[in-house]
Amino acid sequence: MDRMERFLSIWEEEGCNMISMSCKSHDEYTASSQFITHLVGRVLGEQGLEATPIDTKGFQSVLRLIETTTADSFDLFYGLYKYNQNSKDIIVKLKESLGDVVNKLVEKEGSDSELKSCL
């Protein structure tokens, strides 16, 4: 117990707020916050997005997201995926959500939409 208390005190001294929770809750929160953040940042990073002269605050946030998530090692990202069973569900939900948004665009544009081939 003494060793664990010493370990936890390191984080407390750095100003971290320790929150007691079950492993299940921790993994659910981690997948729906850390993993989704890293996943979206890496997906957007694959787009090769760069700053432009007309960037909005939102786009600047996107670029910061890409920068912060891709600055971490791929091994960290992989660990968030591999060691959390909820991460796979996040990937499935993201793919479904992208499909839903594309479907709404296709519906709005009509039957001649070029996006139909993306579905």
1 lies in some domain: no
d(CA 74, CA 96): 24
2 lies in some domain: no
E-strand spans in 1-119?
none
Of 87, 7, 86, the C-alpha closest to 42 is: 87
Number of domains in the chain: 1
d(CA 112, CA 24): 46
2-44 confidence digits (pLDDT tens)? 898 888 899 999 999 889 999 999 999 999 999 999 999 999 9
Mean pLDDT of the residues in the chain: 93
6 lies in some domain: no
56 lies in some domain: yes
Taking the model in full, what pTM does it have? 0.85
12 lies in some domain: no
- The residue segments making up the domain with residue 93 are 22-118
